[in-house]
Amino acid sequence: MNKRILELFQEFPEAYVSGEEISRRLNVSRTAIWKHIEELRSAGYEFEAAPRKGYRLRSKPNSWQVNELLSGLKTKVLGQKIHVYGEVESTQTIAHALIASGAPEGTIVLAEAQTAGRGRMGRTWHSPAGKGIWMSLVLKPRIPVYFMPQLTLLSAVALCRSIQKVCQVDIGIKWPNDLLIKGKKVSGILLESSGEDERLKYVVAGIGISVNLKREDYPEELRNIATSLAIESGTDIPRESLVQAFLLEFEDLYALYMEKGFAPIRLLWEALSVTLKRPIRTNTPSGVIEGIADSLDDSGALTVITQAGEKIKIYSGDIEL
Ligand code: BTN
């Protein structure tokens, strides 16, 4: 039915089509039409609804321009193998399966939409069609498992720097790897890994960037805490350019990390942080910690100084600023 509704709108490009007309032509009730329009909206189609006029198809969902993406890609390894999907549960799940069938380092998985996008700490990630970068990147670093937090911080630096290069926005990193604009989250990173003999076998770096979402694309409960690059910069951003910039930035930082270790990455992270030297609060299994976020240690843990002057390290979890 959704297909037939779209065909009908294609007959009247730019025009309003009344609910009555749709109902008569397709022989369905007005309630059923509304339900189908809502389904199409969540698949990325934008409709305007006007009283007494009906519906107008404003835009269709964007789709990934793979040739454009590949032709402008300046990396040697990352993104040289690309798998593109329409709607998937999670690009992470697909990347894990591709690794099991031999996908090499640098393989990326991109989707238009995710129905069960995974966030950190068991949360879900809102991933509507055609509006964002929902991507998983396959890495095979031969480093000890306990260096994973460093890779998380490296990913945040690569993401922050590439967004700064492509978009005019004032963006910073909240420990460990949330990207914020004016206090609202615009991007998140989820690293999933598998190890063997205390070394990493592979890492799937899941990158979610809310690129061209508009305010109405967010559910009510996210509107005050999440934002997009388009909302903040006032203009739509070509997703392909941002993926190219991110992969290049990541490849350069990854090479630097492999050669020189975490120290240079740590300096870059500190320069982009919106957390350090500010009061923070976090819930840990042993209770609430409040204090001033002081520094990052060599492993990527956050050192917090409490009011009593005690230094406490936080290794994982969420902080409130
Ligand atoms: C976070 O909670 O901040 C991390 C969000 C990570 C979302 C991305 S979107 C692409 C990839 N696939 C997923 O299911 N999750 C990650």
Q: Is residue 304 part of a domain?
A: yes
Out of 10-14, 194-198, 310-314, which region has the weakest mean confidence (pLDDT)? Answer: 10-14
Q: Give residue for tokens 């409490």.
A: 306
In a domain, 156, yes or no: yes
Domain count, the chain: 3
Number of the ligand 1 atom closest to the C-alpha atom of 187: 3
- 52-83 pLDDT tens trace: 899 999 888 778 999 899 999 999 999 999 99
Does 185 count as an annotated binding residue?
Answer: yes
Provide mean pLDDT across the span 112-140. Answer: 96
Domain of residue 22, CATH code: 1.10.10.10
Statement to judge: residues 40 and 153 lie in one domain: no
The answer to the question of residue 320 being in a domain is no
**Ligand 1 and 123: CB distance under 6 A:** yes
pLDDT of the residue at 280: 95
Instruction: Specify the ligand 1 atom closest to the Cα of 120.
Output: 2
Distance between Cα 42 and ligand 1 center (Å): 19
Peptide bond between residue 238 and the one before it cis (omega within 30 degrees of 0): no
Q: Summarize pLDDT for 255-277 with one digit per residue, the tens.
A: 999 999 999 999 999 999 999 99
Q: What is the DSSP string of 10-29?
A: HHSTTS-B-HHHHHHHHT--
Residue 1: the pLDDT is: 81
Distance 76 CA to ligand 1 centre (A): 25
For residues 189 and 246, membership in a common domain is answered with: yes
Nearest-CA residue for atom 9 of ligand 1:
208
| Per-residue model confidence (pLDDT) at position 152 | 95
Bridge pairing between strands 184-196 and 178-181: antiparallel
pLDDT for 39: 86
Q: In terms of DSSP bridges, do strands 82-88 and 108-114 run parallel, antiparallel, or are they unpaired? A: parallel
Q: Are the CB atoms for 280 and 321 separated by under 8 Å?
A: yes
Same domain, 112 and 261: yes
Q: Does residue 36 sit in the same domain as residue 101? A: no
Q: Answer yes or no: is pLDDT of 284 > 90.
A: no
Summarize pLDDT for 81-96 with one digit per residue, the tens.
999 998 999 999 999 9
Give me 88's structure tokens.
């998937």
Q: What is the CATH number of the domain that holds 253?
A: 3.30.930.10
Q: Is residue 321 part of a domain?
A: no
pTM over 0.95: no
Host domain of residue 217: 66-272
Ranking 64-68, 100-104, 281-285 by mean pLDDT, the lowest is: 281-285
Residues 174 and 159 sit within 8 Å (Cβ to Cβ):
no
The answer on 98 and 45 residing in a single domain is no
Residue 306's SS3 state is coil
